[in-house]
Amino acid sequence: MSELLQLGAPNERPRAPKAGEVKLNFSEQGIAELEALISHYPNKKAVILPGLWLAQREYGGYLNGEAIAEVAFRLNRPYAEVEGVATFYTLYNTAHEPGRHKLELCTCLSCMVNGGYELRDHICAKLGVRHGETTADGVFTFEEVECLNACDRAVCMQVGDQYYGPMTKESVDELLEKLRNDPDSTVVEYANSVVRTQLRDVEATPK
């Protein structure tokens, strides 16, 4: 049985900042983008999901308590409400700070029968991590995930906003080498591409 199914995913909650500790870190560009999003939704509550993507980009890929508090402050919503949304969806990085690249390997049915568990074991042995852990050098976080809806590419792996597959041990090794030499965070790039898509959608939608 998959280790993921045996153990369940780690689900630490972000530490909420104390009152008076909240610092606002959004860039001017991020504030302007949030305002653009707010102007196209019926109320600020409806902006929590896109606001969290923006915060994930602005905070370097990690929604810690400060990031969640800033979204709550800027949307005038309770911290607990925003934290509840952020920790419900695994696409938001709240359990721990991810590495520069998050490897999300599918081991659901189609990928499992095509060697997903063997690839998982290969990656974990090569990087010295288990599900949900980050390498000591902060480059890679590994996560075993459920179906990525790309079963025709089994075994499929997501890194940032890209899908790779069908993966083999050789193609995994090649990809890891390429990513290791990539100084840009695919975690941040992924959050940014979601923000850009949301802004394109709101710009195309009449108020």
**Dihedral of CA 147/148/152/158: which sign?**
negative
Q: Which of 46, 49, 147, 202 binds ligand FES (CB under 6 A)?
A: 147
User: Residue 23's closest CA among 60, 83, 64?
Assistant: 64
Cβ closest to ligand FES, residue 82 vs residue 154: 154
From the CB of 117, what's the least distance to ligand FES, in Å?
A: 12
User: E strands along the chain, which residues?
Assistant: 101-106, 140-145, 157-159, 162-164
175 sits near ligand FES (criterion: CB under 6 A): no
Site string for ligand FES, 79-108 (x = CB under 6 A): ---------------------------x-x
Please state, as a whole number, how many other Cβ atoms lie within 10 Å of the Cβ of residue 136: 10
The CA distance from 80 to 75, in Å, is 13
Q: Which of 82, 86, 95, 111 binds ligand FES (CB under 6 A)?
A: 111
Q: Which of 16, 22, 150, 175 binds ligand FES (CB under 6 A)?
A: 150
The CA distance from 131 to 202, in Å, is 36
Binding site for ligand FES (CB under 6 A): 106, 108-111, 147-148, 150-151, 154, 156
